[in-house]
């Protein structure tokens, strides 16, 4: 009996499952392999997520190259945009990391541009939100986390452990403070990745739900459509802001590793 009921439930879920309903809010995040590639039993298929990452990389690179071609002293409009992006990141690195941060500028700039273009390209209807995949954001965060920790140990050696105990605190508090500091340090990649992932996911689910309402409500669908226009503007802000926050936190972590507070 129980198994029958379970089977029925499963069928019902399958029938209304993500793939079948045009209004399912989570369907847009499904990953479909575009071509099967298997190497030594590993599934390395090129998926829609990979496709949109490649598109983001290509669009951002060609945009920047196209914008600064010629390198005029009185810039064209596109060149102003490219110079503004450069200035924003350069200012961010200068203010948050200091002069030692200049060596890391290429990495930080690439990170910012890649996330920015992934976020903004995801706003095009029918595209795929790469940064709404937790594995994508988590991988970026963990790479940054490991790199920054390695930089800390390379610069300061074993003295970097002192980072986990605030200078000047009485010695008996070490038993509480050190574990708290370590947990806080370990939570960095989690908060970094979840922040970007959650913001993007929430925005895209909201899009889909409001778009579903617009279609289902017929003539009255004009109301959710109006809201949708506003939400789209808000999501554009969120897309840029989250790329900025991700990058600025990378700078802050880098500063901690180089200067130790």
190 binds another protein (CB under 8 A): yes
Contact between residue 236 and residue 128 where contact means Cβ atoms under 8 Å apart: no
Q: How far apart are CA 228 and CA 235, in angstroms?
A: 10
Least distance CB 218 / another protein (angstroms):
32
What's the CA gap between 5 and 141, in Å, rounded?
43
Question: At closest approach, how far in Å is the CB of 87 from another protein?
Answer: 13
Looking at the Cβ atoms of 71 and 218, the one nearer to another protein is 71
Quickly tell me which residue has 């990495």 as its tokens: 107
Q: In terms of CB distance, is 5 or 233 closer to another protein?
A: 233
Site for another protein in 20-59 (CB under 8 A): none
Query: Among residues 181, 213, 227, 232, which is the contact residue for another protein, using CB under 8 A?
Result: 181
SS3 43: strand
Place of tokens 């829609």: 48
- Does 183 bind another protein (CB under 8 A)? Our answer is yes
| Residue 176 engages another protein in binding (rule: CB under 8 A) | yes
Q: Please tell me whether residue 73 binds another protein under the rule CB under 8 A.
A: yes
Rounded CA separation 94/26 (Å): 40
Say if CB 148 and CB 254 are below 8 A apart: yes
Binding site for another protein (CB under 8 A): 73, 95, 176, 179-181, 183-184, 186-187, 190-191, 194-195, 198-199, 237-238, 240-242, 244-245, 252
């Amino acid at each position: 009996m129980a198994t029958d009921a379970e089977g029925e439930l499963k069928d019902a879920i399958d029938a209304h499952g993500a793939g079948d309903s045009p209004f399912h809010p989570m369907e847009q995040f499904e990953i479909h392999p575009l071509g099967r590639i298997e190497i030594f039993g590993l599934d390395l298929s090129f998926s829609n997520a990979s496709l949109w990452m490649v598109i983001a990389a290509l669009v951002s690179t060609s945009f920047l190259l196209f914008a600064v071609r010629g390198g005029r002293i009185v810039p064209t409009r596109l060149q102003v945009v490219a110079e503004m992006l450069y200035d924003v990141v350069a200012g961010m690195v200068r203010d948050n990391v200091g002069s030692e941060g200049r060596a890391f500028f290429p990495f930080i700039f690439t990170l910012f541009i890649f996330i920015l273009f992934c976020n903004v390209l995801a706003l095009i209807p029918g595209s795929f939100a790469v940064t709404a995949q937790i594995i994508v954001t988590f991988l970026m965060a963990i790479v940054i986390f490991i790199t920054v920790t390695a930089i800390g140990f390379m610069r300061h050696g074993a003295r970097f452990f002192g980072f986990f105990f605030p200078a000047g605190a009485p010695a008996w508090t070490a038993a509480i403070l050190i574990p708290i500091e370590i947990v806080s340090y370990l939570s960095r990649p989690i908060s970094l990745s979840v922040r970007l992932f959650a913001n993007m996911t929430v925005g895209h689910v909201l899009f889909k739900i409001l778009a579903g309402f617009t279609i289902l409500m017929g003539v009255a669908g004009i109301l959710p459509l109006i809201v949708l226009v506003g939400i789209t503007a808000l999501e554009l802000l969120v897309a840029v802001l989250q790329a900025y926050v991700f990058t600025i936190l990378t700078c802050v972590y880098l500063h901690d590793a180089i200067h130790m507070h």
